Structure 1
Amino acid sequence: MHELPINDVLRQLLDQLCHNTSAVLIAEPGAGKTTRVPLALLDEPWLEGKKIMMLEPRRLAARSAAHFMATQLGERVGDRVGYRVRMDSKVGKTTRIEVVTEGILTRMLQNDQELSDVGILIFDEFHERNIHGDLGLALALESQTMLREDLRILVMSATMDASVVASLLHNAPIIHCVGRQFPVDTVYVPNPAPVPMEKAMSSIIRQALISHEGSLLAFLPGVGEIRKVKRELELMSLPSDIVIRTLYGQLPLSEQSEAIRIEPDGCRKIVLATSIAETSLTIEGIRIVVDSGLMRTQVVSSRSGMSHLSTVNVSKASADQRRGRAGRTESGTCYRLWSQEQQDSLQSANIPEIMSSDLSSLALELAVWGIQDPNDLRWIDTPSDMAFGQAVDLLKRLGAVDQKGRITSHGQQMASIGMHPRMAHMILEAIPLQCGELACRLAALLQERDIFKGKRAFDDSDISTRIDQLMMWENQGMPSVDDSSLDVTAMHRIIQEMRQNQRNLNISGTSHVHSDWCGILLSFAYPDRIGQGRGDGRFLLASGRGVEMSMIQPLSRSSYIVAASVDDRGTEGRLLLAASLSEASLYRYQQDLIQETDVIFWDRDLQGVKARRRCLFGVLMLQEKAYPKPPEEEVAYALVEGIKEEGLQLLPWTKVSIQLRQRLLFMHSITPSDWPNVRDEALLATMQDWLLPSIYGMKNRNDLQRLSLNGIIEQNLLTWDQRRELDAKAPTHMMVPSGSRIAIDYSDPDQPKVAVKLQEMFGLLETPRIGGGRVPLTLHLLSPAQRPVQVTSDLASFWEGAYYEVKKDLKGRYPKHYWPDKPLEAIPTRRTRQQQ
C-alpha cells in the first residue's frame, strides 16, 4: 500500500478500539481513512471473526471504496470486501467488510437489533449529517447500551466538532490525523448581475482550462443547472482533448463511475457535479475547481408540513471541502463565484437534515424500534417536537401507528418495504386492488427526477401523462426520434427501480391502467393533499393549504385532484405534479377519512340559526344538506352566538327594559361588588346565565322579539331582596311637590336626572336624593315651553339666587304663569296659574 497520512495514526486508533468500545477519528481530506481503516481492523482479536460494517452517505462512494479495498487485497468485490446499496449489492459468505449506505444499516438494525454478526460499525463522512446517519447512530448506541456492550462504534469525519460526537459516545477518545492536501490557490470571481449563473460558470470554466493544466470539477446546485452549463460549454470552442462528464445522484452507477475514472489517451475532462462530489470520492486528475457556491436541499415548511427543494448558499465547511478537491493529487486552483465578503458571511456548517427535513420515515423507524418519544434516544441534534409531531400525525392517517404512536402490523409492513411511508402505504393499498404495478411506477416516478424537461414539465402537471409515457417506453422500447422534452436517463432509472420493486414485492399480473387509478393510488399516499377545485386551476387541499397551477391546463378543470408534488413557497403553493380524482372514487376509497358532522350556526344573512349536515374530508366540505330537528339546546347556544356576533341590538329593548338596565348600572356604580354589571360586554359574556334559559324553542330574530327583557333581567340577575332594594334606592319615578309623578332619567348612571317644570317644584327646599340618600338628582328645571332654564343639583342655592334672574327673564314672556316672589312659600302647580 502507498504511504498515506492515516498510516501515522492507525496504531493509536487500534489501541484505543482495543480498550474502548467507541472512538472518533477526525482525518482531513486526502488522509486515506475511508479505505485504510477497515483493512487495518480486519485482524483485530476483539472482532472474533465478526464483520466490519462501514456506512457511506452515498452509493457511488460505497461502491468505489469497496472496489478500491478489494483491489488492495488482490481480490474481487464480494470476497472479503463487499457492498450493499439500494438496488445493488455484492457480498458473499466470506465477506468481512461490508460497505453500505445508511438506509441499508437501518434495515439491518431493525431485522437484528443486536447486529450479532457485526463487530464494529464505522460511520464515515459523518459531517454530512444525513438523516439516516443520525438515526443509524442513535439506534446503534441504543443497541450497544442495551444489548451489545462489545459492539464497537467508530465515527469518522473530515470536518466537524469532534467533542460533540465524543460526548455522545460516552466521552470516546478522539484521534486526529492531518490530510494529504496540496496547496490550492483561491480566486474570488463574483458573478455580476444580471448574468445568468450558467453563463458565468461556463465562461470561468473555459478561462480556467486555458489558464491551468489538469482536469476541472465544477460544482452546481442541481441537474437542471448541470444541463444548462453543459449546453453552454458545447457551444464554445473548447480544446479538442476536453471531455465533458456529469456526476449526480440520479445517474446510473455506470455513468457515475465513468465520471471519476481517468480518461484514456491523456484527455482532460470537465466534471459537472452536484454536492455528491464534495467528499469520499477522489476524481483522478482534478487540479481545478469552479464552485457556484450553491446547493440544493430539502426544506420542510413549518406552517404546512410540506417539503420542497430549495437552492441555498453552501456553508464554509462545504466550500472548503469543494476547494480541497483541487489539491488531492497535486497543487491546484479553486474559482469561487462569490466575493471574499460573501465568504465571511457564510454559515459555518450545513444545517443537519434531521433539523430541516421530513421526519416521517424516521418516526416510522422509531415506532418499529419501539420508541414513541425521540428524547428516549441519544442524538447530536434531537428532532424538533413540531416536526416529529407532524410526522406522527401523518403515520396515524396512513394507519402505520395507533393513536398512542405504537407501530401497527400495517406499519411493520410499510417499514419492511424500505420506501418513504407514503409510497409504502400506497403500494400496500394498491396490491389487493390489482394495481401493484401502477403503484410501483408511481412510487419510482415520484422518488426520481421528473421525466419531462423544460416547457413540457411547466405546461403539464398531470402525472398520468408521465405514466402513459413510461408504459409506452416499456412496451415499445426507445422511440426512434429523439424527444428533447424527455429525460432519457430519468426514464431508464424509473423503469429499472419500478421493476426492482416489483421483484422485491412479488408483484405481477395485469394492473388497472385507467388514468383515474393514478388519482386513487395517490390519494392513499397523500390523503392530506387531496384538493377541491376553486376555479382557474386553484385548489384547496384537505390540510387547509391553497395551491394553484402555473397555467391553465386540462387538469385545471378537475373537481378534485391529488397533489403529489408542491412548491410550498408563497401564499399559494405551486402545483408541480398531480392527478385527477373523481368524487365517486373519493367516497369509495377514502370513506374511512370522511367525517359526517352536524353544524348549527348563526347565519347573518338569514338572521337566524341554520342547521346543516356536512360531509367533510379534512377541511374540505364534500356535501351539505339540511339537518332536520336539531337539538333544541344546541339551537339555543347558536342563537346566543348570533347575539354575540350581531350585538345586543338584536334583542327587543323597550323603554322599560332600557330604564331597568340604566337603574342597575346606577346601583353598580355605587356599590359594584353588590350589584351585577349590565354593560354590553358583561351581558354578552354572561348570556348563557341570564338569557339562555329563556330562548329555548326560538331560532331567529323574529322569535327573539317575543322576549320580555325586563322580566328576564329581574328574574335571572337579581335576588328578591335586590329587586326590593332597587325600587327603594333607584326608583323609576319621583313624586314632585305638585303631585306629578316624573320619570327619573338614568342614562348617565353618575348623574341621574329629572326634567320638571319649575312651577311644580315650588316649596321644596332641598334637592331630592336617591341611592339611599347618597346621590342628589340633577334637576332640569323647565320653562312653560318645556325648555330647560336651569340645571342644578343644589335646589336651595337656586331658590336663593338664580330663581330671581329666571323669574325676571320669563315673567315677561309668560305673564299668565305664576311667578311668586317667595317660591318656597308658594303652592306648587302643574297648571298655568296657582290653584285657588
Structure 2
Amino acid sequence: MLHLPIESILPELKDVLRRQANAVLVAPPGSGKTTRVPLALLDEPWLAGRRVLLLEPRRLAARAAARYMAASLGEQVGETVGYRVRLDTRVGANTRVEVITEGVLTRLLQADPALEGVGLVIFDEFHERSIHADLGLALCLQAQAVLRPDLRLLVMSATLDAAPVAALLGDAPVLTGIGAAFPVETRYLDRPVDEGRRETVIVNTIFDALAAAPGDILVFLPGAAEIRRVEAVLAARGLGGNVRVAPLYGMLPLAAQDLAIAPSPPGQRKVVLATSIAETSLTVEGVRTVIDSGLMRVPRFSPRTGMTRLETVMVSRASADQRRGRAGRLAPGVCYRLWTEQEDARLVPRNTPEILEADLAPLALELAVWGVSDPAELLWLDAPPAAAFAQARDLLQQLGALDRDGAVTPHGRRMAAMGLHPRLAHMVLRAIPLGLGGLSCELAVLLSERDILRSTGGASDADLRLRVEALRLAGQAGRDNPALCAGHLVDWAAVRRLRAELGYWRRLFGIAGQEAGDVDACGLLLAFAYPDRIGQRRENGRFLLTSGRGAALAGIQTLADAPYLVAAELDDQGAESRILLAAPVDLAALKQQFADRIEEVTSVAWDRAAQAVRARKYERLGALILKEVPVTDPAPADMLAALLAGIAEAGLDILPWTRAASQLRQRINFMHRLEPGWPDMSDAALVGTLESWLAPYLYGISSRDGLARLNLVKIIESMLTWDQRRELDECAPTHIVVPSGQRIPIDYSDPAAPVLAVRLQEMFGLTETPRIARGRVPLTLHLLSPAHRPVQVTRDLASFWRGAYFEVRKDLLGRYPKHYWPDDPLAATPTHRVRPRT
C-alpha cells in the first residue's frame, strides 16, 4: 500500500481518541486523511467492532473514497467499506466503514438518535460548512451529551480555522498533519479579465497549457452552462485526436462523472471542465495543470422574498488554495489563476457558511422532528439567522408541517422522512390521494435539479409542462426532439438520469404503478408546494403573487395570458421578480383545494380613484382577490369610519372650503394663538379630531360629491361657545373701516401677523397703526399702489409718514401723475378715488 503523509500522525490521533471523545485534524490536501484515517481506527478498542461513519460533502467524492478504500483492502465496495448516497447504497452485513453524504447522517440520526452500532462519526472537509454538516454536528453533539457519551466525533479539513471548532467540541485537541503535495507554480494575469472575454481567455489558456506541459488539465468553471459553452468552443477549434474533453458537474450521470476522474489511457490526455465539485476530497487522476476561472456559484436565500437564487462570486482564499492543490497531487504542476495578483490579495479568507445564507426550511423541519423549536438549544459554530429561521417556520406552518405552537405534526414527520425539500414533500403527499402522485414525482425531480430546457436564443419558455413532456419523451427519444418546443434544446442525457431518479422515488413512495397524470394538473401541484407564489394576471405578462410581491414573465411567453399561474422559480431581482418556471392553474381547482385558506372579507373603505366609500365583499387568497361583489347594506358606522379615513388620507382640502369658511378658521386660529383655550384649527389638529367636530354631519354622505353639500361655516361655528362667538367678532373682526370710509377685509392666514392690504391713499390722515384683539395686536399694513401692488410693509404707520413716505411719494408721483400725492399725508383727505372729491 502506498505510504501517505497522514500516517505519521495516526499514532497520536489514536492516542487522543483513546483518551477523549472529540478531536480536530487539520492536514493538507493529498495527505491521505480521507482514505487512511477511517481504516486506521477500525481496530481501536473503544470502537468495539462498531461502525465508522465518514461524511463527505458530495456524492461523487463519497463513492470515490469508498472505492479507493475498498481497493486498498483488496475488496469490493459493500464489504468492509461501503457507501450511502442519495439514490445509491452499497453496504453489507459486514460493512464497518460507511461513507455517507451529510443528508444521510441526518436521516440516520432521526431514525436512531443514539446511533446504536456507530462508534465514530468523521466530518470530512468540514471547512465547506454545508448546512447539513453544521446540522449533523449539532445533533451529534447533543446525542453525545444526552445519549452516547462514548460516541467519538472527529472533524477533518485541509483549510479549517480549527480553534472555533475545537472550542465547540469541548476544547478538543487539534492535530496538524503534514502534506506531500508537489510544488505548484502559480501564474497570474497581468491585467483583469473583461467579463465578456472570460471564456475566450479560458479557452486560450487551455491551448497554451496543452502546449506547455504534459499531463491532464483540470479547469474550474462556475457552473454547467459555462462548461457547455467552453466545451462547444473547444470542439469547434479542435483539440486533436489524443485529447478528450470531460465535463464534471453534479447533474451529470454517474458514469460520466466516473469517466472524468478516471486516468487517461496511455498516449491520451483529457481536459476536465469541472465545477467546485472537484475542489476537495477527490483526486482527478493524471492532472498536472489547473486553470482556475476564479468563480464559483453559491445559493443565496432572501428572507425578504423567501426565495433562493444562485449568485456567481469570486472564490475565497481557501477555495483558491484547494483548487491549486489539485495540480500537485501526483507530480509538480502549474496553476493558472485567471486574475491578477492585486485581485488575489483581495480574496476573502473563507466561504460564508451555508447556514447563514441558505433556505432554512429543511433545517427547521429537521429540528422540529428532533424536538427542538429554538436553535439555541443546540451548539452551533454559527447559529441560524433569526429572521430566516422565523420565515422557515412560517412556511412550515403554511404547509401543515408545524402546528400553531411550532410542534411537528404527523404530516410534518412524513414530510421529513421523504428526503425532499419540505415544499416538494408536501406536494407529493397532497398529490397521492388525488391520483397525481406520479406527476408530483416528475415535478419533484425536475425542481430538484437545474433546468433541462435551454433556449437557443432569448429567454427560455417558463412553462414547466414542457419539461414534464420532455421527461416522458426520454424513454422514446435519444436526441433533441424538435416537435417538443420550437427554439429550445433538451438536455436528453440529464433527462434520462432524472428518469432513473424518478423511478426510485415512485418505488419509494409506493406509486410505481400509478398513472403519471395529466400535465395540466402541474399548476395545482405547484400550488401545494408554493402557496406563496400563486399568481394572478394583471397585464402584459405581469402577475401579483399571494405573498403580495409582483412577478413578470420575460419576453413572449405561452403563459402570459394565463389568468392564474404558480411560479416555481423566480430570480428575486428588483421589485418585480422574473418568472423562470411556472405552470397555469385553474381557479376552480384552487378554490376547491385551498378552501380552508380562502377568506371571505367584507371591506368598507375609501376608494382613492373613485373618491368615494366602496363596500365590497371579497374572496381572498393571500394578497389575491378571487371574487368581488358589492355590499348593498353596509353598516352606517362602517361607512362613516371609512369616510373619515378617506378624509384623513386625502387631507382637509377635500372639504368644501368657501372663502368665508377659510377666513373663519383662520380667525379662530389667530385667537388660539393668543389664548390656548380657543379651538386649535391647524391641519394636524383638525385631522386628528375629525370624529368629534365633523363626524356628526357626515351620516348619509359617502363620496366627495356628498361632502360638497357641507356648510363648513356652521360646522366650525359650532365648535365655539356663545361667549367665544361674541368675542371673535370683537377681537378678530373680518373687516376694518379705513379713513377713506371703505370696509377692508383682514387676512388672518398668518395668525402671528394678520394683514390689512389697503391702498396708500385710503390711509391719509391716520396717525397710528390699526390694532385688533382689544389693542393687543397691530395689523401688518401692506400699503398698495393704485395698481394694488405693495409699496411698503409696516406695523408702524406713524414712522412711515415721517420718513419713508416721501421717498415712496416721489416714485408714485412719477408712475401715477394723475393721482393725489400730498406733501402732508396727515393733513390730506383720504380717498379711494384718483383724487378726493372737492
Q: Please indicate, yes or no, whether the TM-score normalized by the shorter chain is above 0.5.
A: yes
Structure 1's 794 and 110: CA in aligned 2 closer, same or farther, altered over 3 A? same
Q: Does 1:462 align with 2:466?
A: no
User: Is contact 1:596–1:615 with CA below 8 Å preserved after alignment?
Assistant: yes
Matched residue type, 2:30: G
Q: Does 1:147 align with 2:147?
A: yes
Instruction: Mark the runs of 5 or more structure 2 residues left unpaired by the alignment.
Output: 830-835
Greater mean alpha carbon deviation, residues 756-765 or residues 321-330 = 756-765
Q: 1:560 aligns with which of 555, 560, 564?
A: 564
Q: Does 1:33 align with 2:42?
A: no
Matched residue type, 2:648: K
Matched residue type, 2:712: L
User: Is contact 2:767–2:826 with CA below 8 Å preserved after alignment?
Assistant: no
Counterpart-to-counterpart distance in 2, 1:534 and 1:75: 64
Counterpart position of 2:99: 99
Counterpart position of 1:184: 184
Q: Does 1:678 align with 2:681?
A: yes
Deviations 1:425-456 (A, max 9, x none): 11001000000011001101111233323428
Matched residue type, 1:565: E
Deviations 1:561-591 (A, max 9, x none): 2222222334543332221212222222233
Scaled by the length of structure 2, what TM-score is found?
0.88
Matched residue type, 2:278: A
> What is the CA distance between 1:280 and its match in structure 2?
0.5
Counterpart position of 1:291: 292
User: Is contact 1:668–1:677 with CA below 8 Å preserved after alignment?
Assistant: yes
State the SS of the aligned residue for 1:249.
Answer: coil
Counterpart-to-counterpart distance in 1, 2:157 and 2:130: 13
Q: Does 1:372 align with 2:366?
A: no
Q: For 1:230-379, what aligned pairs fall within 5 Å after superposition?
A: 230-379=231-380
> What is the CA distance between 1:670 and its match in structure 2?
2.0
Matched residue type, 1:641: A
State the SS of the aligned residue for 1:497.
Answer: helix
Counterpart-to-counterpart distance in 1, 2:761 and 2:481: 113
Counterpart position of 1:18: 18
Greater mean alpha carbon deviation, residues 551-560 or residues 311-320 = 551-560
Structure 1's 696 and 242: CA in aligned 2 closer, same or farther, altered over 3 A? same
Q: Does 1:441 align with 2:442?
A: yes
Deviations 1:166-210 (A, max 9, x none): 122222211111211100111224675476444432332222122
> What is the CA distance between 1:35 and its match in structure 2?
1.2
Counterpart-to-counterpart distance in 2, 1:313 and 1:111: 39
Greater mean alpha carbon deviation, residues 491-500 or residues 652-661 = 652-661
User: Is contact 2:764–2:826 with CA below 8 Å preserved after alignment?
Assistant: no
Q: Does 1:89 align with 2:89?
A: yes
Q: Does 1:662 align with 2:666?
A: yes
Q: 1:515 aligns with which of 514, 519, 528?
A: 519
CA-based RMSD: 3.8
Matched residue type, 1:253: L
Q: Does 1:200 align with 2:204?
A: no
User: Is contact 2:299–2:309 with CA below 8 Å preserved after alignment?
Assistant: yes
Structure 1's 239 and 735: CA in aligned 2 closer, same or farther, altered over 3 A? closer
Structure 1's 275 and 762: CA in aligned 2 closer, same or farther, altered over 3 A? closer
Counterpart-to-counterpart distance in 2, 1:34 and 1:535: 57
Greater mean alpha carbon deviation, residues 156-165 or residues 246-255 = 246-255
Greater mean alpha carbon deviation, residues 318-327 or residues 214-223 = 214-223
Q: 2:694 aligns with which of 679, 691, 694?
A: 691
User: Is contact 2:168–2:380 with CA below 8 Å preserved after alignment?
Assistant: yes
Counterpart-to-counterpart distance in 1, 2:60 and 2:123: 16
Counterpart-to-counterpart distance in 1, 2:654 and 2:588: 44
Structure 1's 609 and 39: CA in aligned 2 closer, same or farther, altered over 3 A? same
Counterpart-to-counterpart distance in 2, 1:558 and 1:489: 31
State the SS of the aligned residue for 2:474.
Answer: helix
Structure 1's 99 and 652: CA in aligned 2 closer, same or farther, altered over 3 A? same
Counterpart-to-counterpart distance in 2, 1:542 and 1:358: 19
Counterpart-to-counterpart distance in 1, 2:643 and 2:332: 82
Structure 1's 173 and 688: CA in aligned 2 closer, same or farther, altered over 3 A? farther
Matched residue type, 1:691: L
Greater mean alpha carbon deviation, residues 173-182 or residues 657-666 = 657-666
Counterpart-to-counterpart distance in 1, 2:10 and 2:682: 84
User: Is contact 1:191–1:200 with CA below 8 Å preserved after alignment?
Assistant: no
Greater mean alpha carbon deviation, residues 372-381 or residues 83-92 = 372-381
Counterpart-to-counterpart distance in 1, 2:261 and 2:561: 48
Structure 1's 242 and 822: CA in aligned 2 closer, same or farther, altered over 3 A? closer
State the SS of the aligned residue for 1:554.
Answer: coil
Counterpart-to-counterpart distance in 1, 2:778 and 2:449: 87
User: Is contact 1:25–1:174 with CA below 8 Å preserved after alignment?
Assistant: yes
Deviations 1:249-301 (A, max 9, x none): 12222332222222334533222211111110112221111222222221224
Matched residue type, 1:170: G
Greater mean alpha carbon deviation, residues 143-152 or residues 791-800 = 791-800
> What is the CA distance between 1:642 and its match in structure 2?
2.7
Counterpart position of 1:112: 112
Counterpart-to-counterpart distance in 2, 1:691 and 1:520: 51
Counterpart-to-counterpart distance in 2, 1:477 and 1:766: 105
> What is the CA distance between 1:796 and its match in structure 2?
8.4
Deviations 1:332-387 (A, max 9, x none): 11112222222222222222222222221112112222223323322222222222
User: Is contact 1:461–1:575 with CA below 8 Å preserved after alignment?
Assistant: yes
Counterpart-to-counterpart distance in 1, 2:549 and 2:745: 60
Counterpart position of 1:703: 706
Matched residue type, 2:243: I
Q: For 1:588-737, what aligned pairs fall within 5 Å after superposition?
A: 588-671=592-675, 673-716=676-719, 718=720, 726=728, 729-730=731-732
Counterpart position of 1:828: none
Matched residue type, 2:682: R
Counterpart-to-counterpart distance in 2, 1:260 and 1:463: 34
Counterpart position of 1:581: 585
User: Is contact 1:17–1:23 with CA below 8 Å preserved after alignment?
Assistant: yes
State the SS of the aligned residue for 2:639.
Answer: helix
Structure 1's 683 and 339: CA in aligned 2 closer, same or farther, altered over 3 A? same
Counterpart-to-counterpart distance in 2, 1:255 and 1:133: 27
Instruction: Mark the runs of 5 or more structure 1 residues left unpaired by the alignment.
Output: 824-831
Structure 1's 758 and 15: CA in aligned 2 closer, same or farther, altered over 3 A? closer
Counterpart position of 2:833: none
Q: For 1:46-85, what aligned pairs fall within 5 Å after superposition?
A: 46-85=46-85
Greater mean alpha carbon deviation, residues 774-783 or residues 118-127 = 774-783
Q: Does 1:42 align with 2:46?
A: no
Counterpart-to-counterpart distance in 1, 2:452 and 2:803: 102
State the SS of the aligned residue for 2:615.
Answer: strand
User: Is contact 2:738–2:744 with CA below 8 Å preserved after alignment?
Assistant: yes
> What is the CA distance between 1:760 and its match in structure 2?
12
State the SS of the aligned residue for 2:555.
Answer: coil
State the SS of the aligned residue for 2:468.
Answer: helix
Percent identity of paired positions between Structure 1 and Structure 2: 53
Deviations 1:79-138 (A, max 9, x none): 332211101112223222221100011111112222233222211000111111111112
User: Is contact 2:478–2:492 with CA below 8 Å preserved after alignment?
Assistant: no
Q: Does 1:505 align with 2:506?
A: no
User: Is contact 2:438–2:517 with CA below 8 Å preserved after alignment?
Assistant: no
Counterpart-to-counterpart distance in 2, 1:788 and 1:89: 97
Matched residue type, 1:775: V
Counterpart-to-counterpart distance in 1, 2:791 and 2:76: 118
User: Is contact 1:449–1:490 with CA below 8 Å preserved after alignment?
Assistant: no
Counterpart-to-counterpart distance in 1, 2:594 and 2:289: 56
User: Is contact 1:297–1:312 with CA below 8 Å preserved after alignment?
Assistant: yes
Q: 1:549 aligns with which of 546, 553, 557?
A: 553
The total of aligned residue pairs comes to 817
Structure 1's 241 and 746: CA in aligned 2 closer, same or farther, altered over 3 A? closer
Counterpart position of 2:832: none
State the SS of the aligned residue for 1:614.
Answer: strand
Counterpart-to-counterpart distance in 2, 1:551 and 1:781: 67
State the SS of the aligned residue for 1:557.
Answer: coil
Counterpart-to-counterpart distance in 2, 1:320 and 1:178: 16
> What is the CA distance between 1:755 and its match in structure 2?
8.5
Counterpart position of 1:827: none
Counterpart-to-counterpart distance in 2, 1:457 and 1:778: 71
